[in-house]
Amino acid sequence: MIVRTLLAASLALSVAAPAGAQDSVYIEELTWTEIRDAIKGGKTTVILPTGGTEQNGPHMVMGKHNFIIHHTAGEIAKKLGNALVGPVVAFVPEGNLDPPSGHMRFPGAITLPEEHYQKLLEYTARSFKVNGFKDIVMIGDSGGNQKGMAAVAAMLNKEWAGTGVRVHFIPEYYSSGRFSAYLEKQGFTKQQIGSHAGITDTSQLWFVNPKMIRPDKRASMGGFEGSGVSGDPTKASPELGKIGIQFKIDVTIEALQKSMAAK
């Protein structure tokens, strides 16, 4: 009898959901009934994060933006307390195909034309509205994502005026410049900080997911012409990345609260 009881308990534990799984803020990790109940319980804000699939030099993986914004969006949702996070949009404008331009000059990059990217955003937002979300938040971890989010937010807000549903495009997530300003105060030069795959990008990904960094491949300006690196990633660190990530979280929450208050 005791053996049977222990066996039953063991089997029950083996099939039980991981602790806290139902408390996730990520839509991908929830069932539809859990999402339904979350919305009914007041989680009527949803974050639509956009990343990208692009080169980041020899020392950093193609999904850099996706890993970073998956983390930051989750932390933003947790701090808000009434939000869930949609799947990261990994396909964004990265350059032309013929002839290849921008990041499309590098193996592994994937691009969407601007009009198709905007349609993807539009119908993701329309889906969220049907789901029952009232505040749809668009944030993007890459510069090429911003124009499309701004255009779609403006279009949908005009169409949805008076419905109680609103799209909040938060450009400050990407453009506040707080992290770069902080690094300059620490003595780093603009050239060292760089504009792509330098100190800021490398540090943030290193903090979020260190397995996605190749430390031995880091070199100033990537180490060779055409490396795809602007800046000096050898100056990067996960400690700096933690600070940069917190800047992104804080500035986004500040801007979103102002946007919501302006309804």
Contact indicator for 90, 142 with CB cutoff of 8 Å? no
What phi and psi values does residue 4 have, to the nearest 5 degrees?
Answer: -60, -40
pLDDT in tens, 140-185: 999 999 999 999 999 999 999 999 999 999 999 999 999 999 999 9
pTM of the prediction?
Answer: 0.91
Of all residues in the chain, the percent with pLDDT exceeding 90 is 90
Cα–chain center distance at 141: 6
Alpha helices in the chain (DSSP H): 2-15, 32-40, 64-80, 114-131, 146-159, 172-175, 178-185, 190-193, 199-208, 238-261
| Topology given in CATH for the domain delimited by 21-175+248-261 | Rossmann fold (3.40.50)
Beta bridge partners of 140: 50
The domain ranges of the chain are: 21-175+248-261
> What pLDDT score does 21 carry?
62
Tell me: pLDDT of 14 over 80: no
> What pLDDT score does 19 carry?
46
Q: H or E element: which one contains 135?
A: strand 135-140
The span from the CA of 257 to the CA of 263, in Å, is 10
| Plot region of 214 (φ>0 → left; ψ -120 to 50 → alpha; else → beta) | beta
Of all residues in the chain, the percent with pLDDT exceeding 70 is 92
The span from the CA of 142 to the CA of 207, in Å, is 18
Tell me: pLDDT of 3 over 60: no
Tell me: pLDDT of 237 over 90: yes
Among all chains, which residue has been given the structure tokens 């990345």? 241
Q: Compute the radius of gyration of the chain from its Cα atoms.
A: 21
The span from the CA of 263 to the CA of 255, in Å, is 13
